[in-house]
Amino acid sequence: MKKILIILSAILIFSGCKKIEDLNQNIKDPANVTGESLFTGAQKRLVDQMVNANVNRNIFRLVSQYWCETTYTDESNYDLTTRSIPDNHWDEIYISALKNLDESKKVITNTTYGGDADPAIKTNKLAVVEIMSVYAWSVLVETFGDVPYSKALDVTNELPAYDDGLTIYKDLIARLTTAIGTMDVAWGSFDASTDNIYQGDVTNWKKFANSLKLKMGMILSDIPSQAAFAKATVEAAVTSGVFTSNADNGSLSYLSSMPSTNPIYEDLVASGRHDFVPTSVIVDTMNVLNDPRRPFYFTLEGGVYVGGENGASNDFTAYSHVSDLIQGATFEGTILDYAEVEFYLAEAVERGYAVSGTAESHYNSAITASITYWGGTVNDATTYLAQTAVAYTTATGTYKQKIGTQKWIALYNRGFEAWTEWRRLDFPALSAPVDAYTSFPVRFTYPIAEQTLNAASYDAASAAIGGDLVTTKLFWDKY
């Protein structure tokens, strides 16, 4: 009997220990995550960051003077630090997007796909992951300049050095070229539920990659030492095949129920807040031009389109609002589109690059694409383009002013791209609000966390770019 009690006690003790150990196990989250699910999450978080209107994370519509604020005006006046906006933008790109894309690549690489899965499908998946990664990296460089790159994403290296922005950018273009070369359009990639931009369509992803390559080549085009490289990059992208219609747009589909709705819906509708109205800067510009996109951009107020004062406190009830279309839960989030591509092609012709067509024909196609995308007709576009102030041959200024002004109008609701193109083309003429904390920002300052936790690398990077200031022009914006 004594032996039996001892044995039973031992069993109970062992069982108790096992239950205690079980308490340390996470039974809610999967032990292993597929590379495909990592890609889906990273893709959405990346597009969300570029689309959302949360003043803690994305103030690019305010910087680009599309929207202004009603009550709290700090962000319209370029206060970047109180809400740690650079830190949040940096973290969303590095942690939520790039790190998960990097892990997705590793997992897919190490996964053996059985059955009828052709090796080309795996190769295509890895190419798509690479293309999304290049896009994310390009956003960081276009925002900050020099950033951690070659030593980044390594969890064992907590204090990575910063790489030269131009060196990163050229390497990203090389990575795009390699990814494009590995893609086999005869095969698929991710399935439709995993890829919420192109549903795994490799032909569309290849067009996206070439269009991104075109964009990046154009961003380098003003640098004298990179003139030949920029020209070759643009011409190669166009030859390989860029967007040819709005059907090619790089847009992520959203759903009608949270948390899968468009972030703008969450920020402007579900929140119950009324923090923004369109600025008089964009509204007045479009009013003068009788722009047919106004009802798709803004609401009427008292039968007219009227914008608020940029940088000031504005009465929400006194001005036009952001349109219901843009605030819709299922309105897609776009990160690259056909109109943008056609504007690049117009500029490429003006620069003497080997691109077919005329600058005017591409300019007209860009404007038509924008108007029809938003809901206007081809006739609307024709009427708009017939105006002296809009027609390419009679509009005021150099090609940079003509293209820059119309591109800024077309990029409404895509604040980051509008900010980048304004910095690059210097049009339209935008000035800082009267009460602005600083002059017009041409970059974001580095995150405070980098200044305190990665000080040596931060100091070196700050010195390399000419000072960690919002007024320090980046390598592609100096000319």
Q: Give domain limits for the chain.
A: 35-259+331-465
Could you give the CA distance from residue 443 to residue 478 in angstroms, rounded to a whole number? 12
Q: Indicate the Cα dihedral angle 390, 394, 398, 401, nearest 10°.
A: -10
381 Ramachandran zone, left/alpha/beta (phi>0; psi -120 to 50)? alpha
How far is C-alpha 322 from the chain's CA centre? Answer: 20
Query: Residue 22's beta-bridge partner residues?
Result: none
190 Ramachandran zone, left/alpha/beta (phi>0; psi -120 to 50)? beta
- With cut-offs at 50, 70 and 90, classify the pLDDT of residue 467: very high
- With cut-offs at 50, 70 and 90, classify the pLDDT of residue 22: low
Query: Residue 69's beta-bridge partner residues?
Result: 276
- The answer to whether the beta carbons of residues 263 and 246 sit under 8 Å apart is no
Could you give the CA distance from residue 331 to residue 356 in angstroms, rounded to a whole number? 34
Is the preceding omega at residue 86 within 30 degrees of 0, hence cis?
no
- With cut-offs at 50, 70 and 90, classify the pLDDT of residue 6: very low
- The answer to whether the beta carbons of residues 268 and 53 sit under 8 Å apart is yes
Could you tell me the pTM of the whole model?
Answer: 0.94
**Per-residue model confidence as pLDDT tens digits over 341-395:** 999 999 999 999 999 999 999 999 999 999 999 999 999 999 999 999 999 999 9
Cβ-based neighbours of 310, under 8 Å, separated by 6 or more? 65, 68, 76, 279, 280, 281, 433
Running DSSP on this structure, what letter comes out for residue 444? P
Structure tokens at 416: 């980051």
**Per-residue model confidence as pLDDT tens digits over 163-216:** 999 999 999 999 999 999 999 999 999 999 999 999 999 999 999 999 999 999
Other Cβ atoms within 10 Å of 44 Cβ, number:
20
**Per-residue model confidence as pLDDT tens digits over 333-348:** 999 999 999 999 999 9
Running DSSP on this structure, what letter comes out for residue 304? B
- With cut-offs at 50, 70 and 90, classify the pLDDT of residue 476: very high
Exposure string over 151-175, b if 16+ CB within 10 A, otherwise e: ebbeeeeeebbbbbbbebbbebbeb
What's the chain's average pLDDT? Answer: 94
Structure tokens at 52: 């959302």
CATH 1.25.40.390 fits 35-259+331-465, yes or no: yes
Query: How long a stretch of residues is the chain?
Result: 479
Cβ-based neighbours of 8, under 8 Å, separated by 6 or more? none
Nearest C-alpha neighbor of 208 from the set 131, 139, 136, 122: 131
- With cut-offs at 50, 70 and 90, classify the pLDDT of residue 9: very low
**pLDDT value of position 25:** 54
